[in-house]
Amino acid sequence: MKRFTVAAAQYPIEQLSSWQAYADKLTRWVEQAAAGGAALAVFPEYGAMELASLDPATMGDLAGSLASVSALLPQVDALHSELAARFGLYILASSAPAAPESEAYVNRARLFAPSGKVGVQDKLVMTRFEREEWGVAASPTLRLFDTALGRIGVNICYDSEFPLLARAQVEAGMDLLLVPSCTDSEHGYWRVRLGSQARALEGQCYAVHSPTVGEAPWSPAVDVNRGAAAIYGPPDRGMPASGVLAIGAMDAPQWVFAEVNLDLVAQLRADGGVLNARHWSEQPGAVTLPAVEVVDLS
C-alpha cells in the first residue's frame, strides 16, 4: 500500500479512575482513528504515564510512577494488539518505561501490526530530565520496520533532534518517520517540530509528530504537556510549499489526519527539485552512520 491515511494524536494526559477507564479511552481513540480512514495511528511519547494515576500511593513519586506503569505494560500491550487486529490498522503505542532484566528502565515505543506482530524501538538519546532526575537509560539499537504500508522508522522525541539517526534509517530505506513526543513547554515542542521537519527535508520522506497535551498536576513526570500533532513532508513538488500536510490546534486533544503517498517519496528522491537524500554524502565531514536492524512487521 503506497497511498494511505495517517492519524497523529494530540493525546491528553488524564487522571484515570480505573483500568477500564483507560481501556475505554484507548478504544475510543483507536476507533476514531479508524473511522477517519487511518491505516496507521501514532500515539505520543510517555502517554502511558497517565496509568500511574491508577496507583494513588505512588503516582506522585518519580520512581513509583516508573514501577507502576512498567508493571502494567504487558496488559497495555495486549490491549493494543487486540485493537490493531480488531480495527485493522497499525498502532504506534504511547511510549512507556520498560524494565529489561537486570538493566535500568528504558523509554520504549511499540509498533503493533494488525497481524499480531510487534516491533520495539527504545529511545537512544536521553534528555536531561531522563538522565539526571529519572534514571531512564539510553538504548543502543536503532531499528526500521518493514510493514504492509512501507518502511517505518521511529525517533522518540529528543532523538529527532540528532540527524544521524534518521539518516541511517533513510539509508536503510525508510519512507516514513514517526516522532512521538512529550514536551512541557513551547520551546520543547518547537525543538521537536523543527527536528521532525528537518528530518523530512533531509531524508525526502514523511515525518509524523504526535505530542502529549494537557496538565496533570498529580504527576511529577508529565505534569505539563504542550504541542500540536502534525504530518510533515519535504517542501518539494507534490508537497505543500511549507512542508506541512496537516497540523492541529495547539494543545487541543484531537486526531490530525493526512494522506501520505510513498510513491511520491520515491519520485522526489529520484528526481526532486533538490536531491537532499542523494547528496548527503557530499557534505564535508559526513560520518559513518549507526547500524540499523530491520524488523519484519508485514
- Predicted confidence at residue 288, as pLDDT, reads 85
DSSP 82-142: HHHHHHT-EEEPPPEEE--TTS--EEEEEEE-TTS-EEEEE-SS--HIIIIII-PBP---E
- Predicted confidence at residue 253, as pLDDT, reads 98
Instruction: Find out whether 60 and 122 touch, Cβ atoms under 8 Å.
Output: no
> What tens digit of pLDDT does each residue of 224-275 get?
999 999 999 999 999 999 999 999 999 999 999 999 999 999 999 999 999 9
> What tens digit of pLDDT does each residue of 212-238 get?
999 999 999 999 999 999 999 999 999
Q: Averaged over 30-57, what is the pLDDT?
A: 97
Instruction: Please state whether 53 falls in left (phi above 0), alpha (psi between -120 and 50) or beta.
Output: alpha
Cell numbers standing for residue 56: 494513588
DSSP class of 17: S
Using the predicted structure, report yes or no on whether residue 71 has a pLDDT greater than 70. Answer: yes
Using the predicted structure, report yes or no on whether residue 103 has a pLDDT greater than 80. Answer: no
Residue with cell 518502511: 151
Q: Give the confidence band of 285 by pLDDT, cuts at 50, 70, 90.
A: confident
Q: Averaged over 89-104, what is the pLDDT?
A: 89
Overall domain count for the chain: 1
**Residues 108, 119: Cα–Cα separation, whole Å:** 10
Using the predicted structure, report yes or no on whether residue 1 has a pLDDT greater than 70. Answer: no
Percent of the chain with pLDDT over 90: 92
Q: Helix 62-87 vs helix 19-35: angle between axes, to the nearest 10 degrees?
A: 40
- Predicted confidence at residue 19, as pLDDT, reads 98
Q: Averaged over 200-211, what is the pLDDT?
A: 98
Global pTM reads 0.97
Mean residue pLDDT across the chain: 96
DSSP 186-209: HHHHHHHHHHHHHHHHHHTSEEEE
Q: Helix 186-203 vs helix 163-171: angle between axes, to the nearest 10 degrees?
A: 30
> What tens digit of pLDDT does each residue of 134-152 get?
999 999 999 999 999 999 9
> What tens digit of pLDDT does each residue of 177-186 get?
999 999 999 9
Number of H helices, E strands in the chain: 7, 15
User: Is 250 in a helix, a strand, or coil?
Assistant: coil
For residue 210, how many C-alpha atoms fall within 13 Å in the half-sphere facing its CB? 34
For residue 283, the domain's CATH number is: 3.60.110.10
What are the residues facing 122 on neighbouring strands? 108
Full domain range(s) for residue 30: 3-296
